[in-house]
Amino acid sequence: MEILFFAAIVAYFAATMLQSVGAMMDRNKLTRAARAIFIAGFALHTAFTAWRGFAAGRLPLANQFEFASGFSWSAAIMGIVLYARLKQNWVMTVSMPVAFLVLSYAAFQPMEIKELMPALRSTWFALHIGSATFSYASFAIAGGLGARYLAMLKKGHADSETAMKQTDYMTYRLICLGFLLLTVVILSGAIWAEQAWSRWWSWDPKETWALITWILYAIYLHQRMRMKWQGKRMAWFAVIAVVCVLFTFAGVNKLLPGLHSYAV
Amino acid sequence: MKKVLSFLRSMKFGMILLVLVIACSFAGSMIVQQRDAMEYVRRYGEDAAQLILALGLDDVFSAPYFIVLMAALCLNLILCSIVRLPRTMRAKKALISRAETAKTDTPLDEGQAGKLCAFFEKRHYSRYKAGDRIIYFKNSIGFYGSFITHFSFLLILLVGAAAVMTADVRDQTVMPGETLELEGGISIRVDSFQIVDETGLLDYASTLTVSDDIGKTVTREIRVNEPLSFEGYKIYQQTYGTAGAVRIKNLETGVSEDMKLTEACFLTLDGVSGMFYQALYPGYVTDSDGSVTLITSTSGAYTDPVYDIVSVSGGAMTPVLAFPDETLTIGNVSFTMLDPVSYPGLRIKHMNPLVLGLLYATFVLMVAGLYLCFFAAPLAVAADDDGYVILSPKTQTGLMIELEALLKEE
Ligand code: HEM
């Protein structure tokens, strides 16, 4: 069944390439093909995830491989839903590489199915980790949109002021969504930790970095409001903040072991 | 004074404080916390260790400056919330009166007003007429979003601190079969304790019977994620240990007694000869050359327990490795090693249920506040025969683009 997983990576890769070329050359046929391949890849990815859930007899989000796969899956579905709503090609140009890169990272993680650790057997598991995958995916796509904004600025896309405004606005909206979900992650994590270890908060490195990420995005939201910062500065902010998200997602597990180290 | 106050309640000060919280959290996650001084010297070298200790970076989150920082954040949030609530009320009224008078900024062609009306009706906007213009209005509750968010953040900090400070926490090891009496007439009996080894994943569970002095009794198994709640107490399966056990028999009188061995001790009747208990090992492996190596890791089940003891008799000391059921006779006393006993370390927490309820309510409040901020921003659109204008305290690029597209449609 791992074949489904690798087929999904290949599909995401092909879609990303076609989409980039299609978007660069303004070829609708190519981007349409890219979307079809991406959706096919997403179907494979979903089938793989469902199979893994059945095989393991639990939600497949229990270790770094499964979590990364969930992160990529969330990015893919968010891209598809956003495209369906906005009908804007650039949504795909950004979500496809996010889904592809995160799934490729997953491919380098140990893949074997393991029994769920007793500490993870909780009703809070689904809410805590499920929101985390969607939160990270929102931030990652927002970072991608920030990068797109900067690229447009460099190219001097004067022809599409609306597109730039829309990109800037979507970056902000995705950060709002990611922030709300990250709040759910942190609060449900606190309730869970109290059930499991009797303490809501232990300043464990993963918790601390989730808090750092949360505050960083709170600063983003305030700066946008207080200084009326928009456009270039906020795009840079969104891009740089993704580094913090990625560190919270993967770096902490590898470099700063703590209570969450089972997620390695 | 006025200037100081307005700085203390400003968003600028708030942001400075948030950056400082990030800086402290960064330091606290990168530098190992709460170790002794030598550990810092070993890890980071003497100079860096001195700096870390001098700046309190070895325990950032309990350092006075971190507490002051959190207090300043609370003060800032209190001040800005107090100022903001009346402003929020005024803003709500102002938005409506602005909608009645504001100049339209996007022209409408003939027939497009109907399209606009249909669009807003589909989206469940409320609608009223003010003179010759129609005002579409939505989400007035959204005005309170950021107030609720900030207020709930403040409450989380305050109620969280109260919850931690008012909780009475104690750790206690209890042997299976023993009962622990708590104040208020509550007793906790450990009926049994077991370690379940699921291919390397260890699950520890205790079966407890908890009762109070008026006859209410609960029997339940506790394990990680499944503490037992009873009359304000929460009992957690926190840790575990394994103790040796020995039956000591006086061969002259025939009297015998079983004892648990939790630490090294000398068991003797006459004070001279007897058994010195050193340690208990969970198992052993026999190498290819027949030599035996003891397993020293004490996590997990004791599959082949081995007692490390010393027989002390007539001034001679003989080290012995003994298995359960083996008997050692020293003088007039026999020592029969028994199967080891695993026992739980319970954490017993007593908390005021009101504080706990309040804390969880603040969590819900924060999520609700953020939802209102982001997904229920107040919005008014004023339209007359010539054009329309969008009014909202938040940027409404999404709606703006949507309306443009709608009106462009044939
Ligand atoms: C980590 C703590 C904080 C969080 C999570 C937070 C969250 C938020 C959110 C979500 C918004 C709405 C932003 C938007 O809709 O784009 C907001 C607005 C605002 N925040 Fe904070 N905030 C925090 C701390 C502070 C502090 C310390 C201040 C200091 C005064 C502050 C002052 C404000 C102000 C004045 C607004 C604008 C409110 C309005 O006009 O509706 N915030 N905050």
Per-residue pLDDT of chain B (410 residues; tens, 9 = 90+): 789 999 998 999 999 999 999 999 999 999 999 899 999 999 999 999 999 999 999 999 999 999 999 999 999 999 998 888 888 888 888 888 888 888 888 888 887 888 888 999 999 999 988 888 899 999 888 889 999 999 999 999 999 999 999 999 999 999 999 899 988 889 999 999 988 766 667 788 899 999 988 888 999 999 888 899 998 899 999 888 889 999 999 998 999 999 999 889 999 988 889 999 999 998 888 888 888 888 877 666 788 899 999 999 888 899 999 999 999 999 889 999 999 988 999 999 999 889 999 999 999 999 999 999 999 989 999 998 888 999 988 878 788 888 888 887 76
- Here the tokens at position B264 are 């090294």
Chain B interface mutation, best of A88, A112, A174, A176, highest count of B Cβ atoms under 10 Å: A176
CB of B77 closer than 6 angstroms to any ligand 1 atom: yes
Instruction: Supply the mean pLDDT for chain A.
Output: 90
Q: How far is the CA of A95 from the centre of ligand 1 (A)?
A: 29
Query: Does residue B173 lie within any of the structural domains?
Result: yes
User: What are the helix (H) ranges across chain A?
Assistant: 2-25, 28-56, 64-86, 89-107, 124-155, 161-197, 205-226, 232-246, 252-255
Strand partners, B106: B388
- Give the model's pLDDT for residue B199: 65
Contact B370 A179 (CB under 8 A): yes
Nearest CA to ligand 1 atom 5: A218
First to last CA, chain A: 22
Nearest CA to ligand 1 atom 30: B11
Cβ of A166 under 8 Å from any chain B Cβ?
A: yes
Cβ of B370 under 8 Å from any chain A Cβ?
A: yes
Query: Which residues lie below 8 Å from residue A132, measured CB to CB, with a gap of 6+?
Result: A67, A181, A182, A185
Q: How far is the CA of A227 from the centre of ligand 1 (A)?
A: 13
Strand partners, B346: B172, B237
Statement to judge: residues B235 and B185 lie in one domain: yes
CB of B370 closer than 6 angstroms to any ligand 1 atom: yes
Q: How far is residue B87's CA from residue B78's CA, in Å, rounded to a whole number?
A: 15
Give me the interface pTM, i.e. the ipTM. 0.92
Q: Whole-model pTM? A: 0.89
- Give the model's pLDDT for residue A87: 86
pLDDT at A249 > cutoff 70? yes
* Greater model confidence, B404 or A10: A10
DSSP code per residue over B156-209: HHHHHHHHHHH-EEEEEE--TT-EEEETTTEEEEEEEEEEEEETTEEEEEEEEE
Q: How far is residue B250's CA from residue B335's CA, in Å, rounded to a whole number?
A: 9
Tell me: the pLDDT tens digits for A77-114? Answer: 999 999 998 888 899 999 999 999 999 999 999 888 87
CB of B14 closer than 6 angstroms to any ligand 1 atom: yes
CB of B8 closer than 6 angstroms to any ligand 1 atom: no
Contact A61, A129 (CB under 8 A): yes
Statement to judge: residues B210 and B283 lie in one domain: no
Query: Does residue B182 lie within any of the structural domains?
Result: yes
Query: Exposed (0-12), middle (13-18) or buried (19+): which is B207, by Cβ within 10 Å?
Result: middle
Query: Does residue B279 lie within any of the structural domains?
Result: yes
Helix-helix angle A205-226:A232-246, to 10 degrees: 170
DSSP code per residue over B379-404: EEEEE-SSEEEEE-SS--HHHHHHHH
Q: How many CB atoms lie within 10 A of CB A78?
A: 21
Q: Which of A117, A168, A177 sits opposite B201 (nearest CB)?
A: A117
**Which residue ranges make up each domain of chain A?**
117-263
CB of B367 closer than 6 angstroms to any ligand 1 atom: no
- Here the tokens at position B184 are 């208020």
Contact B25 A179 (CB under 8 A): no
Domain count, chain B: 2
Tell me: the pLDDT tens digits for A150-200? Answer: 988 887 765 577 788 888 999 999 999 999 999 999 999 999 999 998 999
Query: Does residue B25 lie within any of the structural domains?
Result: no
What are A47-54's contacts with CB under 8 Å, separation 24+? A47/A4, A48/A1, A48/A2, A48/A4, A48/A5, A48/A8, A49/A73, A51/A1, A51/A4, A52/A1, A52/A113
Chain A interface mutation, best of B21, B22, B165, highest count of A Cβ atoms under 10 Å: B22
Residue-range definition of the domain harbouring residue B254: 242-341
Query: Does residue B143 lie within any of the structural domains?
Result: no
pLDDT at A264 > cutoff 50? no
- Give the model's pLDDT for residue B63: 94
Q: How confident is the model at residue A72 (pLDDT cuts 50, 70, 90)?
A: very high
What are A74-77's contacts with CB under 8 Å, separation 24+? A74/A133, A74/A134, A74/A136, A74/A137, A75/A99, A75/A102, A75/A137, A75/A140, A75/A141, A76/A12, A76/A38, A76/A41, A76/A42, A76/A45, A77/A42
Cβ of B358 under 8 Å from any chain A Cβ?
A: no
Nearest to A23 by CA among A84, A78, A95: A95
Cβ of A254 under 8 Å from any chain B Cβ?
A: no
Q: How confident is the model at residue A59 (pLDDT cuts 50, 70, 90)?
A: confident
